[in-house]
Amino acid sequence: MSSIRLRPDQIARLPKGQGARVIRLALARYRKGEIVIQKLGNRKNEKEVLQVFALRQRLEIGDARLVREILDAHFRTPVDHSGELARWDAICAEMLDHLPPFFLE
């Protein structure tokens, strides 16, 4: 087991039981370039209240401050699933076209 320190507002936004999955998704989006973190300068002087968030597996990025910034960017820019939903609509429509006609009595 490992852990990371997050702000209480970030922990509150993570879904129960799926927090590690959301963190890994945010890191994957960051690596792909879908989200960009804002350079806020040196934030070491700010007093942030941090809480420990337990993880089963170690994260690939070791800097907890970077992970907190990536999570903030992930929450600011939601994932756009419209293209994926349109693809599934087309698949369902094609499957319905292959069904034989039927009548309800």
- 39-94 residue pLDDT tens: 765 555 467 789 999 888 887 777 888 899 999 999 998 887 788 888 999 999 99
Residues 66, 6: Cα–Cα separation, whole Å: 11
Cα(43)–Cα(61) distance, integer angstroms = 18
Report field, pTM of the whole predicted structure over 0.75: no
Rounded Cα gap, residues 40 and 43, in angstroms: 7
